[in-house]
Amino acid sequence: MRISRSLEVWKMGTVNYLEALKLQDKLVSDRKTRKISDTLLSLQHPPTYTLGKRRTDHNLLVPETDLRKIGAELHYTQRGGDITFHGPHQAILYPIISLRDIGLGARNYVEKLELTMIELASLYGVKARAGQTGETGVWVGERKIGAIGVRISSGITSHGLALNIDPDLSYFKHIVPCGIADKEVTSLGKETEVALPAEEVIHEQLISCFARVFGFSDIIWKDDASILFDNQSIE
């Protein structure tokens, strides 16, 4: 008999990157001690560039002061992966889940994150694929549509994936996206031939793809108001 597994989903809207980082740290700690069950954060960030733990600053093509001039922040993180951009009109998922409980290794976990974005793209007639050797994330031909950068601590995940719905792609000109030179960045809006629905619909479709790929049979939705009420002690 198949075991029913539930996933708590927090729909958070637009969240400052450092606030999201602090929240993830708390939730990872709570998941390790089983104070919470598997949880998925669904959100967007204001314009933000992040570097992974390898600190590949050479892939940032402009001084940090130039980023401030365009209203963007730069943050260093402990996730895997290279430099990337987060901003409006991008769907971000941060899973806080126990890989041990679902019997997944790190490689399989990343592959399922890729599949989550590939399945979402297919809903709009876009044929996406996982990265080949030396490539990370999800691609449409030779154009990157989704990024992945994860952290796993004692079997508990954080950070996650970012799918370009229809962001301002000019932000990517200031970096070598994910450390891969001479590659374009694209978006769902640019690749599909159908009119996109409201972004909230796409966010929910991405969540549904994630739940299906990872075998969660029950989704418990929490909106932003209830999250803030339940987590006043995070600050």
The pairing of strands 39-44 and 6-14 is parallel
Question: Is 81 marked as binding a ligand?
Answer: yes
Residue 174 CB partners (closer than 8 Å, separation 6+): 49, 60, 61, 62, 66, 67, 70, 85
Q: pLDDT tens digits, the chain, 235 residues: what are they?
A: 456 799 999 999 999 999 999 999 999 999 999 999 999 999 999 999 888 766 666 777 788 788 888 888 887 877 766 788 999 999 999 999 999 999 999 999 999 999 999 999 999 999 999 988 777 899 999 999 999 999 999 999 999 999 999 999 999 888 776 666 778 999 999 999 999 999 999 999 999 999 999 999 999 998 764 555 455 444 4
pLDDT at position 62 is 82
DSSP state at residue 54: T
DSSP state at residue 193: S
39 strand-pairing partners: 8, 96
Question: Is 68 marked as binding a ligand?
Answer: no
Helix (H, G, I), strand (E, B) or coil at 55: coil
Q: Answer whether 169's CB lies under 8 Å from 187's CB.
A: yes
H or E element that contains 65: helix 64-69
Structural domain 6-224, CATH architecture:
2-Layer Sandwich (3.30)
Catalytic, 178? Answer: yes
Q: Which of 178, 206, 207, 211 is catalytic?
A: 178
Question: Is 121 marked as binding a ligand?
Answer: no
Question: Is 160 marked as binding a ligand?
Answer: yes
